[in-house]
Structure 1
Amino acid sequence: MKGRFLVFEGIDGCGKSTQINQLINWLPTSGLMPQNSVLHVTREPGGTALGNALRELLLHPPKEILPGSLSELLLYSADRAQHVLEVITPALENGDWIISDRFSGSTIAYQGYGRELNLDLILQLEKIATQGLVPDITFWLDLSVEESLDRRKNTNHDRIESEGATFLGRVANGFDVLAKERNWTRVPANLPKEVVAKKIKESLSIKITGKRISSNG
């Protein structure tokens, strides 16, 4: 039996890490996963050794090797191609489950809508890098730009997070468009984290079994 591929998307500060950790603790005992299935947790960029090197170049580059917008897009695509080849596809073929912090939707939102690069080009690169792989379910943690900035006001920002409110507004709009086009599961991320976690668990249960099951624990 082929495994399941779950993805979390959203703007910076939306709570992806928190909700992924909630799901990690719940899924193995939820009854949704086959007993012999292993749960893998990964991220983009950085889900492979190559990806970790690319992550540093993308998010914390020295000033002398700062990537331009098109180079940035190609580096994200290279990270994804290696991620799909080395991590995601083998795990799915083994019947395992995967949770990924970001996937191709983030590239469309950040580089397409945020950087305003050509969307047709990005979609072509998406097909090449993913080899047609589509997540079973994508959770979009929907958070306002104002809330995102407020949550991150006392944190150190990487290169992308430092782009500011106008850029982030375009990204948020991109996620909104994608969520509607690709039938993502929208979860309001401004609610208490326990409420957000419950909504995610219930949505996943319905998606996998066709019915709602207990999300306690």
Structure 2
Amino acid sequence: MTARGRYIALEGFDGSGKSTQAEMLASNLDAVLTREPGGTPLGEALREVLLHAAPDEAPSARTEALLFCADRAQHIGTVVAPALEAGRDVVTDRSYGSTLAYQGYGRGLPLDELRALIDYACRRPAGASEELPDVVLPDVVVLLDVPLADSDRRVHRLDRVGGEQMSLLEGDSDADPDAEALEGDGPDRLEGEALEFALRVWRSYRELCDAEPDRWVRVDAAGSVDEVAARVIEAVASHPAMAG
């Protein structure tokens, strides 16, 4: 019997370099590369609604959570589970951690309700091999950790950092008090949220990582792309879930 593949997720605040690092890790592991939201035709349609809806058509917080988990259920059933059953490793750009961080800590939805929704969305598909767990969550979650001010600069989210916004950044030990966001193309809808929301999400990722030390590993995402990639590859290779 073919040993099932390993499921690896990259998580982190906007601008942490997840997409690039997911591509590099998937190449290193010869793994299936995918993403949430997206990864399936239905998922890509949901992604457009979730990330690029006009302000007057934007989904509510609860609708966001339901749509993200609908995308996840389709993703698990048609991409992730079949690949794992075939013995392929899977690398995804975002997973359940983003729902907890953005819709839970960011939007204020009850975490216990979100976890129940996530578990339902990630339930092993009907007819899938019992080699898969009852709930198909990532075996390894890599948190790409960057200072909030640095991630803001990377995605060009703020025209400037000053006054009240600067005081929020200065409240975090890893933030750069002199950082200024660069002007550039506009972010997607979730990236464009207010800084207070961003700060809640950014902090939540560390809390999530600390709460699941057997699954999550924190990687310093400062430095060159190649430097960060080396750290990610080492963190994944040394994780107990990758043994065997």
Task: Tell me which residue corresponds to 1:140.
Answer: 143
Task: Tell me which residue corresponds to 1:60.
Answer: 52
The structure with more radius of gyration: 2
- Give CA-to-partner distance per residue, 1:28-49, whole Å, 9 cap, x none: 3xxxxxxxxxx21100001111
Map residues 90-129 of structure 1 onto 2, 5 A cutoff: 90-129=82-121
- Distance in 2 separating the partners of 1:4 and 1:168: 31
Task: Tell me which residue corresponds to 1:199.
Answer: 231
Residue identity in the other structure for 2:200: R
**Structure 1: gaps (5+ residues):** 29-38, 211-217
- Give CA-to-partner distance per residue, 1:113-168, whole Å, 9 cap, x none: 01111111101101101111121211100112111111122232111000022111
- Give CA-to-partner distance per residue, 1:77-96, whole Å, 9 cap, x none: 11111111111111111111
User: Is 1:170 aligned with 2:200?
Assistant: yes
- Distance in 2 separating the partners of 1:52 and 1:198: 30
- Distance in 1 separating the partners of 2:139 and 2:55: 39
- Distance in 2 separating the partners of 1:155 and 1:180: 34
**Structure 2: gaps (5+ residues):** 124-134, 157-183
TM-score, normalising length: structure 2:
0.78
- Distance in 2 separating the partners of 1:193 and 1:8: 15
Residue identity in the other structure for 1:140: L
Higher relative contact order (CA 8 A, sep 6+): 1
Residue identity in the other structure for 1:141: L
CA RMSD of aligned residues (A): 1.4
Aligned-residue sequence identity (percent) comes to 42
Greater mean deviation of Cα atoms: 126-135 or 2-11? 126-135
Greater mean deviation of Cα atoms: 60-69 or 76-85? 60-69
User: Would you tell me which structure has more helix in proportion to its own residues?
Assistant: 1
Q: 4+ residue runs of structure 1 moved beyond 3 angstroms?
A: none
TM-score, normalising length: structure 1:
0.87
User: Is 1:40 aligned with 2:32?
Assistant: yes
User: Structure 1 residues 92, 25: CA separation in 2 closer, same or farther (over 3 Å shift)?
Assistant: closer
Question: Is contact 1:139–1:200 with CA below 8 Å preserved after alignment?
Answer: yes
Task: Tell me which residue corresponds to 1:185.
Answer: 217
User: Structure 1 residues 194, 56: CA separation in 2 closer, same or farther (over 3 Å shift)?
Assistant: same
- How far the C-alpha of 1:22 sits from its partner, in A, is 2.0
- SS of alignment partner, residue 32 of structure 2: strand
Q: How many residues align?
A: 200
Question: Is contact 1:16–1:141 with CA below 8 Å preserved after alignment?
Answer: yes
Task: Tell me which residue corresponds to 1:71.
Answer: 63
